[in-house]
Chain A
Amino acid sequence: MADATLLNLVLWLPVIGIAVIAATPRGADSWVRSLSLAVMLLQLALTAILYVHFDPARAGLQFVTSRPWIAAWGIDYRIGLDGINVLLVALTAFLGPLVVAGAFSAIQKDVKLFYAMVLFIQFAMLGTFLAQDLFLFYVFWEAMLIPMFLIIGIWGGERRIYATLKFVLYTAFGSILMLAAVIYLVYSLNATTGIKSFAFADLYGSHLPLHTQMWLLAAFGLSFAIKVPMVPLHTWLPDAHVEAPTTGSVILAGVLLKMGTYGFMKLGFPLFPEATRAFTPALMTLAVISIVYGACLALVQTDIKKIIAYSSISHLGYVMLGLVSLDLVGIQGALLQMVSHGLVAGGLFLMIGMIYERCHTRDIAAYGGLAKLLPVYSVFFSILTLASIGLPTTSGFAGEFMALLGAFNAAWPQHVAGYDLPLVLAVIAVSGVVLGALYMLWLAQRMLFGPVKALHQPLRDLDARERAILIAIVAAIFAIGLYPQEPLRKTELAAREYQQIVMSGRGHHGSLP
């Protein structure tokens, strides 16, 4: 199938890019930049073709490549698109060129290594989304750590060493426990059914005893919860975001954070359905805590990047809420919120990067009256602020609203039956919307409006490159916000399948083509 080759090409294109970059002579920085941008744009174009060809009416994986890799253990090189990862792959491919273009003026030293790392992390992120084999997934999952370690550590801010070590060691801890769980899971399957395979489809029907499932879900869940991040495992994020260079923050907020929720949706919950159902109240509580705690902390920050970092914690709480609601609307909302957050938070970090390049401070107190000094900047900033709050017609609204609706849909029958906790939690979650509006509008007000503060003069407004980047993001936000049916159509079958697996616990082998 030509499309399967296309998918492989999309995945491996960044590696080819790295090889070419490595071959360029020292000092040819502009070549490196153009080359990286070309690679990312080509990848975006190919992904767009795949996205358009993705058939929403077919369940299961599409564009599958399945080749034995380590045959002795049943590990295959198995990649494919399904309704869950198609949106995330599109998001990653979309943000790729924006990330590269956004770094043009910001990164001046070790340019070759920087773009090689950006391409490598793009490869690792796509691989994580596309992998349909547990070993392959784990390899890509861990492979993301090293380029991020270097990106934050070399090109970051003052406390970058502390922040990057915290990020890597924290994430790696979860991964180690997940590795133990992976090995245990595969060997249980082998011992009970004789199937020797790491493929997701084979693992879904494993039917382990509840006790075992709970431990395994805890191990997988720890790793994913650190990545989401869920409170109380979230403290690496503010430090990582603040100290990372703009590109690092955009990659982190735009795509890396989605790994955790993707992991829950693709692996954690469907692999252990009974345990998921048993843990649902706890998971829902943690999701709501993330929403409120993240928002409250965003309120009291003085560093702009930290505000957006904590807002990410809050927004991803909605995703978790939608996922555990096990209601179709909620699940679809969660997926949409993942994409929306990627765009909005990515855009906000890009904008913070732009203003930082001009004024070299991230302290809110230093900013004021930007609307008068940088009108075009302020327009984009306001649009992104409103999208973050979840204004209708933006993608943020669709995602948040559907997730909340899903939570209520799931909570209401339980309330009628006498169990009130989910309903209470859902009501508290709604307050998160208000808090979200509170800190974002306050941020916008202090930065854009009010008296003009004396800043690094002269300030130039956005140039053509920056405008192009932001127009792309804003267009995507409105496209999804005004017509969410289009991306949702592609995810519907996969969402139903997820719901079915987790709710009924029945193994599902229909993903094999």
Chain B
Amino acid sequence: MSWHDVLIAMLPENLLLAAILLLLAVEIVSGRSRDGFAIAFAGAAAAAAAACALYVHGYAGEPFPGHFSVGPTAFLPKAAIIALTLPVLLVSRDDFAESRFYVLLLSSLYGACLLISSDSFLTLFLGLELMSLPVYVLVLLAFLRPESTEAALKYLVLGGAATATFLMGASLLYGASGSLAVTAFSSALGSAQPLAVAGAVLVVVAMMLKAAVVPFHAWAPDAYQGASVPVTAYMATIIKAGALLAALRLFGTTPVVRPMTDLLAILPLASMVWGNIAAIRQSSFRRMIAYSSIAHAGYLFYAFLGEGPGRYAAVVFYLIAYGVMNLLAFAALPRSIDDARHDELDALKGLFHRQPFAALMIAAAMLSLAGLPPLPGFIAKFLIFRNVLAAGYTSYAVLGLVASYLGIYFYLRVIQYMFMSAEEPSAVHGRPRRLAFLASLLCLVPAILLSVFPGWLLDRL
């Protein structure tokens, strides 16, 4: 474990750390709150580039044996989630300019990176907490509305419950296997010891709580609605990605048997149905996205029903496709002077006539989230359901597909408002923002590439 190895292996994390320290240093030195956007963006971009380079190079290593290891299967997801944060940063420029926002965001991202490479429950816990704690504050930070405080509190309490459950499960697994390694989880999956099984269940439940799967999802609509747009975007994409990549790390390629498969099938199925149906009546865009992300968490957990080797490809591809399109929608969302007004779906009425590009981007995002070809969301769903069917769970796959059908309506409703409704006469519009436009381009290009050449990414997964 030479310092050189640590430096290179953790290069993405180190670059993020450097950016955080620089932001703090600048703030301390200058004595007042300064604009940290440039440093943050540069740091994140460098970290993403580093992760890509290391992935392409095929670097693998174990800087902290037993706790933290890296390899191509870790670098690709890291590159993906850091790259997904870039549009979030661009979108946030108009809401937040203070360093503390960027410090918190980058810290959370650091935690997510830790999560992806963890080999022991300690590192996993560290990463989970580091990923979540800043976000509790971020929800509160914009303080645009009184609901933000409430939302942050709810998220905190339930996030704390998740952490507690995770620790309980981890300690039970330690008790059952005597080891803190993540592999204790996969061995517990096949074990008959009640201690191990209980430990595994608690850990899975903790992941589901973090990802907002039914019945652990109740915090999500309030939290998403209470936060400001960039934070909601971050929660919907990167936090979810972190939770699922952690689950991926835990499950590995171990085959899953009953009754764990029941858990992994019924709860996600319930999420799909609940999320897709409850979204129908929402009038707030962020709340609607919350319910939609509950459903998407369901699809993602379904991937664990599939055969071991295919899980990684399914989950990572889905997270990338889902993340890109979700961010596209948030980036293209038109601004309004008043944040609460900004959030209402009614504000989108007639958008096509005012800002055609924004309307088309949001429409593409909605269609991809609904899983309609030729957008990348379709291929992502196809991948997941293909794996489930191939593993032999025909009825679960069919039910899942029908549940995903239920979701088409509310996505179409957004498109209906944008294209087919006349504009609300009372609509007040903010200035169009250049950086958000850049963010949507940043999301659009990968989206087009993914829909036309999905094989390129799939071959590398």
Contacts and interface: CB of A to CB of B under 8 A. Distances in A.
Contacts of B409: 165, 169
A180 B408 contact: no
Contacts of B367: 146
28 contacts: A70-B379, A70-B454, A71-B459, A73-B458, A75-B455, A138-B373, A139-B378, A143-B372, A146-B367, A149-B412, A149-B415, A150-B415, A154-B420, A160-B420, A161-B416, A161-B420, A165-B409, A169-B409, A176-B405, A177-B398, A179-B382, A180-B385, A180-B389, A180-B401, A183-B386, A183-B390, A187-B389, A187-B390
Given A161-B420, A177-B402, A179-B401, 15 more contacts: A68-B455, A69-B455, A70-B458, A71-B455, A110-B352, A113-B352, A139-B374, A153-B420, A165-B409, A173-B405, A176-B401, A176-B404, A176-B405, A180-B389, A183-B382
A142 B389 contact: no
Interface string B351-395: 011001000000000010000111000110010011001100010
Interface in A64-78: 68-73, 75
Nearest to A153: B420
A411 B359 CA distance: 56
Contacts of A139: 373-374, 378
Contacts of B402: 176-177
B397 interface: yes
A184 interface: yes
Nearest to B391: A187
Interface in A87-118: 110, 113
A110 B356 CA distance: 10
A11 B447 CA distance: 22
B330 interface: no
A455 interface: no
Contacts of B224: none
A441 to B, nearest CB: 38
A22 B385 CA distance: 35
A146 to B, nearest CB: 6
Nearest to A152: B420
A68 B456 CA distance: 11
- Give the interface centre of A153, A154, A161, A183 by most chain B CB atoms within 10 Å: A183
A172 interface: yes
A172 B405 contact: yes
Nearest to A172: B408
Given A70-B454, A165-B412, A176-B404, A142 B459 contact: no
Given A179-B382, A184-B389, A187-B386, A70 B455 contact: yes
A480 B404 CA distance: 45
B301 interface: no
Interface of B: 352-353, 356, 367, 372-374, 378-379, 382, 385-386, 389-390, 394, 397-398, 401-402, 404-405, 408-409, 412, 415-416, 419-420, 454-455, 458-459
A145 interface: yes
A437 interface: no
Contacts of B420: 153-154, 160-161
B453 to A, nearest CB: 8
Contacts of B408: 168-169, 172
B373 A143 contact: yes
Contacts of B382: 179, 183
> Which range contains the number of A residues in contact with the other chain?
20 to 34
Contact of A143 (B374, B379, B416): B374
Nearest to A145: B372
Nearest to A70: B455
Contact of B397 (A142, A160, A183): A183
A143 B373 CA distance: 6
- Give the interface centre of A70, A153, A154 by most chain B CB atoms within 10 Å: A70
A168 B412 contact: yes
Contacts of B415: 149-150
Contacts of A71: 455, 459
A87 to B, nearest CB: 26
Interface string A150-190: 10011000001100010011001100110110011001000
A74 to B, nearest CB: 11
A262 to B, nearest CB: 18
Contacts of B404: 176
Contacts of A179: 382, 385, 401
Nearest to B370: A172
B455 A142 contact: no
Contacts of A73: 386, 458
Interface string A52-82: 0000000000000000111111010000000
A173 to B, nearest CB: 6
Contacts of B353: 110
Contacts of A72: 455, 458-459
A145 B415 CA distance: 13
Nearest to B413: A165
Nearest to A181: B398
Contacts of B459: 71-72
Nearest to B398: A180
Contact of B372 (A75, A146, A177, A183): A146
- Give the interface centre of B356, B415, B416, B458 by most chain A CB atoms within 10 Å: B416
Closest 5 A/B residue pairs (Cβ): A139-B373, A70-B455, A176-B405, A142-B373, A153-B420
Contact of B419 (A68, A143, A150, A177): A150
B378 A142 contact: yes
- Give the interface centre of A161, A179, A187 by most chain B CB atoms within 10 Å: A179
B372 A142 contact: yes
Interface string A400-424: 0000000000000000000000000
Contacts of A172: 372, 405, 408
A343 to B, nearest CB: 29
A154 B419 contact: yes
A110 B354 CA distance: 12
A472 B126 CA distance: 73
Contacts of A169: 408-409, 412
Nearest to B402: A176
B230 to A, nearest CB: 29
Nearest to A175: B405
